[in-house]
Amino acid sequence: MSVIRSTVLGCGSYLPEKFLTNEELASMVDTSDDWIVQRTGIRKRHIASEGEFTSHLAVKAARRALDNAGFEAKDIDVIILATATPDNTFPATAVTVQHELGMHHGFAFDIQAVCSGFVFALATADNFLRSGQARRTLVIGAETFSRILDWQDRTTCVLFGDGAGAVVLEARQAEGSIADRGILTTHLRSDGSHKSKLYVDGGPSSTQTVGHLRMEGKEVFKHAVGMITDVIEDAYKATGLGSDDLDWFVPHQANKRIIDASAKKLGIAPEKVVTTVDQHGNTSAASIPLALDAAVRDGRIKRGDLVMLEAMGGGFTWGSALLRW
């Protein structure tokens, strides 16, 4: 049976030049390199410079993804940008990116699912492509979490950073088997009853301010592994595939302990796990495409490899995407 598969043709990423080490943070709040590394695996995080916005990071990552795919902006129909830190309350940061890329056709919009944003954007793009409403999409995750952190709160400010990553997807005919290249299945979930465990204490409608990130870290940790493994098991059920079939596991890069515990629970071998959280901390919606791009550039992920993506974030939202590169 012939089907349309949303196939990744290129990826790219960008981290701001400026970065902050754990030692530097220890001079700002009561923390230490040892504490941060042991509890999270994070060694540094990149911070956007003054005047450097989410759209600027997104455009840089998008240009790299387009180059990697061998396309120009004129070849793209739709831009979907996942962010919880838009340049402005409106318009969507995606339309700024569209303009900066010189694209005046098609359409662009943002998706807000916090750290799960990239998986939600990928699933949305997959639906546009499989339904025939688009031929090529640019999916971007871009964040400047440094702008919503309370830099006096050591329980959160050590965890997050800024960055962007992007992929180019094309609708391609395929056989309809698990051997196809492209997205094989996606599974999205949310449960708003967990809102108070991870949120920003401001917004246009509530406080008319941007607000700061607030988190009950222990509570997030407690739920994360179960939620992540649930949606991955959904992907296995939908395809008949399992952990042994995976070539690579590219999780949301929030915390090395969550990543390791999820991989262990699922029986995914440690050498298949792509971890970049040490290099950039939790970059929310940007973290998966940052990790993907790192593993593609260093030659680990190759065409035909089976790759599992997953994320969990504020809301809570969580999701998985299983694809063949």
Q: Minimum distance between the CB of residue 278 and ligand ACO, rounded to whole angstroms?
A: 14
In the set 68, 252, 255, 280, the catalytic residue is 252
Contact call for residues 66 and 5 (beta carbons, < 8 A) = no
Q: Minimum distance between the CB of residue 136 and ligand ACO, rounded to whole angstroms?
A: 29
Which residues would be at the binding site for ligand ACO (CB under 6 A)? 31, 35, 39-40, 114-115, 154-155, 158, 198, 215, 217-218, 220-221, 254-255, 258, 282, 284, 312-314
Q: Minimum distance between the CB of residue 34 and ligand ACO, rounded to whole angstroms?
A: 9
Please state the φ and ψ torsions of residue 309, each to the nearest 5 degrees.
-110, 145
For 281-304, give one letter per residue: b (16+ CB within 10 A) or e.
bbbbbbbbbbbbbbbbeeeebeee
* Residue placing its CB nearer to ligand ACO in the complex, 55 or 282: 282
Angstrom distance (rounded) from CA 241 to CA 232: 10
Active site residue 252: yes
* Residue placing its CB nearer to ligand ACO in the complex, 149 or 258: 258
Q: Which of 177, 178, 124, 135 is nearest to 9 (CA)?
A: 135
In the set 11, 46, 115, 212, the catalytic residue is 115
Active site residue 282: yes
Tell me the residue length of the chain.
Answer: 325
- Could you count the other beta carbons within 10 Å of the beta carbon of residue 71? 17
HSE at residue 67, side-chain half, CA atoms within 13 A, is 9
Please state the φ and ψ torsions of residue 197, each to the nearest 5 degrees.
-85, -20
* Residue placing its CB nearer to ligand ACO in the complex, 155 or 239: 155
Q: Reduce the DSSP state of residue 2 to 3 states and report it.
A: coil
Peptide bond before 316: cis, by omega within 30 degrees of 0?
Answer: yes
Q: Minimum distance between the CB of residue 224 and ligand ACO, rounded to whole angstroms?
A: 6
Q: Minimum distance between the CB of residue 324 and ligand ACO, rounded to whole angstroms?
A: 26
Question: In this chain, which residue has its C-beta nearest to ligand ACO?
Answer: 217
* Residue placing its CB nearer to ligand ACO in the complex, 146 or 284: 284
* Residue placing its CB nearer to ligand ACO in the complex, 58 or 258: 258
The region, left, alpha or beta by phi > 0 then psi within -120 to 50, assigned to residue 101 is alpha
Catalytic annotation, residues: 115, 252, 282
